[in-house]
Amino acid sequence: MRITAITPMVLGTQWRNLVILKVETDEGLVGLGESRPINKVDAAIGYVRDVADRFVIGLDPFDIELLVKRLTVEDYGRPGEVAMTGLAMIEMACWDIIGKALNQPIYRLLGGAVRQRIKAYGNGWYTVERTPDEFAAAARRAVAKGYRALKFDPFGAGYYEAEQAEKRKMIGLVEAVRDAVGPEVELLIEMHGRFNPVTAIEMTRELAPFKPSWVEEPVPPANIPALKKVADAVAPLGVPVATGERIHTLHEYREVLELQAADILQPDIAHFGGIFNTKKLAAWADTYYLLMAPHNVGGPIATAAALHLAACTPNFKIQENFNDFDEPYVLASAPGLPPFSEGFFALPTGPGLGVTLDEAVVAEHPEQRIHFNLFAEDWHKRKARMHTE
């Protein structure tokens, strides 16, 4: 079997563009890949087109390791966010083809299930005014959908430091959510790499009474010793540190692991070279007794890939999901995700990823010209901003 064609397409939403790859073979099997390259749609598609004829067309989709070698070694340039995103989409589609060829779900080809359901948390539920009442009401709505873990960023447009009044507002939002959902719902505090170490430590100490299950990316991702400084300071508070969505290669994780600078790793399968690369990281992380909570801001195709990895990864903790808080047509674009209930997804079913692309839905919702800026006021409302702003 050989790959004969790669077709990129884009599903546009109000705040994100989902790049979808359709990979075709000479035996009629078709595989799907997907990513959400933040503000880099054209770059990701351009990369896929650049490597397709040179490295991918004519490849046997079973040759995952050869695909990775070609795109990360033989192309010579040091792989980064765009390259690893393109690789991830192609690799994901190859696994989809492999599963269909063997009539098996992907997780059964990666060692089989180690759990019968997959714990998940909701994100994207807090697109409301940044007030305690509004955040509390939104949190209750998310819990009503069945979520027993919620992630949110209460920090506005903060960067490095914050004024005292703004700090009180940040703390008040978390307090309001905790009061609204009670002690049993997990709260996952997203910092988006906003703070310098001293502010990240201060804010974590202030939020510790609300029992967050982690603080995520407390400092920008480029300086791992700074991350370790935070992790060491907040460890006595019993608050784990999570990071990894902006780390794109195995080699970049070396310092995180060797310094033991985090407790939970969050690679994004769709930007980390795909399913198998993330599986390798999980095994490496397990030697340090670290947990995996893969980042996922993708639509149903990327989410399906994440669920397959979660099913067969012993040190998996919890899976992120946005799709229940987005436009309904996103899920309709690739139906087949397993059902979600009371905080858990069922195991994926069907061969390969288990989802089927509806190209008509994608065509009805083309790419949007979005500039998504996490450091703009009211960014959390996820209203489209034009590139020209």
pLDDT at 365: 98
Active site (annotated) includes residue 192 = yes
pLDDT of residue 383 exceeding 80: no
User: What average pLDDT does range 297-317 have in this prediction?
Assistant: 98
Instruction: Name the active-site residue from 248, 295, 365, 380.
Output: 295
CATH of domain 108-355: 3.20.20.120
Confidence of residue 384 (pLDDT cuts 50, 70, 90): low
User: What average pLDDT does range 274-279 have in this prediction?
Assistant: 98
pLDDT digits 0-9 by tens, 77-118: 999 999 999 999 999 999 999 999 999 999 999 999 999 999
pLDDT of residue 388 exceeding 50: no
Instruction: Name the active-site residue from 192, 248, 271, 365.
Output: 192
CATH 3.20.20.120 range(s) for the chain read 108-355
pLDDT of residue 387 exceeding 80: no
Amino acid identity, position 210: F
Q: Choose between 385 and 206: higher pLDDT.
A: 206
User: What average pLDDT does range 335-360 have in this prediction?
Assistant: 97
pLDDT digits 0-9 by tens, 42-82: 999 999 999 999 999 999 999 999 999 999 999 999 999 99
pLDDT of residue 212 exceeding 80: yes
Q: Over pLDDT 90: what percentage of the chain?
A: 97
Instruction: Please tell me the distance from the alpha carbon of residue 224 to that of residue 199, in angstroms, as a whole number.
Output: 16
CA nearest 270: which of 32, 109, 11? 32
Which CATH code, of 3.40.50.300, 3.40.50.2000, 3.30.390.10, 3.30.565.60, is assigned to 3-103?
3.30.390.10
Active site (annotated) includes residue 387 = no
User: What average pLDDT does range 348-374 have in this prediction?
Assistant: 96
CATH 3.30.390.10 range(s) for the chain read 3-103
Output the pTM of the full model.
Answer: 0.97
Confidence of residue 382 (pLDDT cuts 50, 70, 90): confident
pLDDT digits 0-9 by tens, 111-135: 999 999 999 999 999 999 999 999 9
**Residue 215 in contact with residue 189, Cβ under 8 Å?**
yes
